Structure 1
Amino acid sequence: MHNVDAYGNEIVTSPEILTLVEDIFGTHAEKAIEYHRLLATDGSIRGFMGPREIPKLWDRHILNCAVISELVPIAGQPTIVDIGSGAGLPGVPLALARPDIDIFLVEPLLKRATFLQEVSEKLTLENVQVIRGRAEEKTVKKQIGSVDLVTSRAVAPLGKLAGWSLPLCKKHGAMIAMKGTTVREEIARDAALIKKAGGGTAEVLVVGKQLTQPTTVVRIPKLDSIKK
């Protein structure tokens, strides 16, 4: 196995990053390292990762996503749907950090869904199922059923995202969307759409405080009933 990226550059991981990888992924640290390699090679060749993103894969992508596991319940083998999963972010890091969860990776584009299936097989992720489709499609909803959490990253504006995510949640479930520093403005702007989708009070949370760049997410619980 050549330890170089799609552009022939050597893939180097610092001791500090390796320590974080071991702490966050535990027994699946080696699989996380292999996922990093797949993103830097096959993922980049297929256009999922640009050359400027490869040096940032750990900080800005893999670890940044994996720390969402802090918000996943410990008990009861939770089920998660990652919508618009793309190259597997945040779904694959979550599956590696929390092998006790069952996770669906939902992706509409064939080339991305194919890559996700290949990643799942190469990493032997028995807790992952790849579904090609869109979260709002009836056939996808039928396959998935109702889940504890719906995750997303850079998929859509918050209001639209709530309309896709919350219908997939169980009673007392929630959506968790990775967002940037303007998330509070999004919450205020899309409050009516969130309510219409059955969402409760949105909560902005910061996870992964051990990282150089902690992750900001918005968590929106699903209400028992939609208030008109």
Structure 2
Amino acid sequence: MANVSPSYDDVLAAAERLGRPVDAEQAELLAVYLRQLIKWNKKMNLVGKSDWRTVFNTLVVDSLFLADFLKGLPLGDKPLCLDFGAGAGLPGIPLRALWQEGDYWLVELREKRALFMTSVLSKLKLPGTNVFRGRAEDALARLEKGRTEATADLILSRAFMPWPKLLDFIYPMLRKDEERAGVAVILSNDLPPAESELPEGWVLGNVASYPAARGERFFWSLKVR
């Protein structure tokens, strides 16, 4: 069985095998996250019965390639980013080990999972990375102290809800600006729909694929208009 407590060198080697190398500082941050995840998982069942290598190859892999994908999006300076249904901090916490632009909020309703993420972040000290415990529909108003005009630059979703419902749900929350419209990024096992299938008000942006342990996966970006 894989070592339940990955070292810095273990993570460096695992990332190299996936074809997305990380540097020394990133490897250490990822190792700390994985150690905490496996430790808490024994009591909370955050990711099912998994050793750290399985978690890395099937879940953290998304974060590694997502960091590169986000660098190619027009998010502007200091974007406000919301990660809905953050759960065990995936993809958000490993992502922030590699991509640290703007303010990033891990949004999670369940108390124990929010507590886990808060505990991990207290060890990692990732800049601009926070936990919001509450309903997704309440996040912006609470974060901006009740300013109803507040909007996000980026909203991420792995499996928060089916994409057609998600796009309707988040449309009011994203920035409506011709120069810098808000962006949704969906992590999926499937190619994106045709643009004609998208709800009104959305335009398909960048799409990328990447290798994962259980097959090819995709990122879709969609811009509001």
TM range (shorter): 0.7 to 0.9
Q: Retained in 2: the 8 A contact 1:116–1:130?
A: yes
Query: Displacement, 1:202?
Result: 2.8
User: How many residue pairs align between the two structures?
Assistant: 207
3-state secondary structure, aligned to 1:30: helix
Of the three residues 169, 172, 192, the one matched with 1:167 is 172
Partner of 1:226: none
> In structure 1, how many angstroms separate the alpha carbons of the residues matched to 2:11 and 2:32?
15
- Aligned-residue CA RMSD (Å): 3.0
Q: Retained in 1: the 8 A contact 2:190–2:217?
A: no
Partner of 1:142: 141
Q: Retained in 2: the 8 A contact 1:79–1:147?
A: yes
> In structure 1, how many angstroms separate the alpha carbons of the residues matched to 2:157 and 2:65?
14
Identity within the alignment, %: 23
> In structure 1, how many angstroms separate the alpha carbons of the residues matched to 2:187 and 2:141?
25
Partner of 2:116: 115
Q: TM-score, normalised by structure 1?
A: 0.77
Q: Retained in 1: the 8 A contact 2:69–2:208?
A: no
Q: Retained in 2: the 8 A contact 1:84–1:134?
A: no
> In structure 2, how many angstroms separate the alpha carbons of the residues matched to 1:117 and 1:188?
41
Partner of 2:53: 55
3-state secondary structure, aligned to 2:189: coil
Q: TM-score, normalised by structure 2?
A: 0.78
Partner of 1:17: 14
> In structure 2, how many angstroms separate the alpha carbons of the residues matched to 1:11 and 1:115?
19
Q: Retained in 2: the 8 A contact 1:70–1:207?
A: no
Q: Aligned partner of 2:45: which letter?
A: G
Q: Aligned partner of 2:14: which letter?
A: I
Query: Displacement, 1:184?
Result: 3.2
Matches within 5 A, 1:18-167: 18-19=15-16, 23-24=21-22, 27-52=25-50, 54-73=52-71, 76-137=77-138, 140-144=139-143, 145-167=150-172
Partner of 1:219: 221
> In structure 1, how many angstroms separate the alpha carbons of the residues matched to 2:29 and 2:11?
17
Query: Displacement, 1:183?
Result: 4.5
**CA offsets, 1:64-117, max 9 Å, x none?**
223212232475132211011111111112211112332011001111111111
Q: Aligned partner of 1:221: which letter?
A: K
**CA offsets, 1:5-54, max 9 Å, x none?**
3xxxx658376414369834663320111111112221343111111464
Query: Displacement, 1:207?
Result: 4.4
